[in-house]
Structures are given as C-alpha cells and as structure tokens.
Amino acid sequence: MSDKIKLPESQDGTIVFNLPFNKDLKDLSNMTPIVVKRPYLIEYIYSYGEYSPFFAGLTNGIQLGTHCDNCNYTYATPRMYCNECGGTNTWIKLPEEGMIHTFTVCYFGSEKFLPETPFILALIQYPGVNTLFLTRLLGFDVKNPSLSWIGTKVKQKFIRNSKLLPTDVYYIPIIK
C-alpha cells in the first residue's frame, strides 16, 4: 500500500488552529474540555392525521374550520371534538372575509421568522364562528401600528406554493 493515499479534506466542519495540547500525556487529565457548537439538522417525518383536511384545504385555497352539530359551536381553528359538549365536529368552509379582533406586532420570532421581523399577527373574527383564527396580517404599516385597525375587514389569501403549514394562509385588508 502507498503512504500517499489520503482521505480528501473539505472546508466544512470545525476548523481549529493552535488548540493547546500538552505533549506530556500525564497532564492531559487536567485539560479543559473542548466545547464545540455545530448546526444540527434532521429530517422529521410526521402525520397531520385527522387534521389532514385542513392542510389539504389550504393547498387548494380553502380555509376549513369545524362545527359541532350537537351544540352548534363553530371553531375557526379546527377541533375534531367539541370543547363545549364533547361531540364530534364536522368540517366546514370558513368565510373568506372576517375582521381584525386584535393584533400584535412581533419584533422577535422563531429562527424561521426572525428575518421577517417585525411582522403582524392577528386574531381574525368571522361572522357565525365562535372562535378566532391566529394568522399573519399583511398590507398594514408595521412601523405605525394603530388601534384603529381593530374591526378592519380583511380577506384571506394563500401562498402560491403550499408548504403544508398554517402560514399558507394570511390576511390582507379589504380596500373599497
């Protein structure tokens, strides 16, 4: 075998220069631990299970909620079982328009949303629906938030290429 065979080196990973190392092996038990920070990426497979119709609806430009035929309670954020009476809920199409019930401007976010800060999250109220839907709000001046936005009529929009995430739907003001 040739001594000239070497494993190819790449420029990724942790590059270390001049890491202290005592050549006297007796002193190595006193060495300070090396601490390394590296990104960690995994692929995670999961199922939306009984909530699959909600995400299939978003992909097709339809926002679904659920309704309890037993006590007539309607949920903007789907629930398979009614919180009021425990009955089984059925799927319904939510109205395409609603109004801003309340909102907040987010100056910090998870790693995914941090580059988009500041952004607006709002709770949307629909006619005939008992609960609110938390969503992104676009089309407002994020640098000048105003309480006058509360009660503003808004309509749903969908991203062009679905990511099968709740953020596939967002709301914009209805301009007349």
Residues 108, 33: Cα–Cα separation, whole Å: 33
- The answer to whether the pTM exceeds 0.85 is no
In a domain, residue 39? The reply is no
The confidence score (pLDDT) of residue 14 equals: 67
Full residue range of the structural domain in which residue 67 is found: 49-173
Nearest alpha carbon to residue 91 among 125, 132, 50: 50
- Structure confidence at residue 1 as a pLDDT band (50, 70, 90): low
In a domain, residue 68? The reply is yes
Q: Where are the beta strands (DSSP E) in 46-160?
A: 64-68, 74-75, 89-93, 97-106, 119-125, 133-137, 153-158
In a domain, residue 40? The reply is no
* Average pLDDT rounded to a whole number, residues 152-156: 97
Q: What is the pLDDT of residues 101-137, one digit of tens each?
A: 999 999 988 877 888 899 999 999 999 999 999 999 9
Give me the percent of the chain exceeding a pLDDT of 90: 67
Q: Please list, in sequence order, all residues whose beta carbon lies within 8 angstroms of the beta carbon of residue 83, skipping any fewer than 6 positions away.
A: 73
Element containing residue 29 per DSSP (H, E): none
In a domain, residue 26? The reply is no
Residues 133, 145: Cα–Cα separation, whole Å: 20
* Average pLDDT rounded to a whole number, residues 76-85: 96
In a domain, residue 30? The reply is no
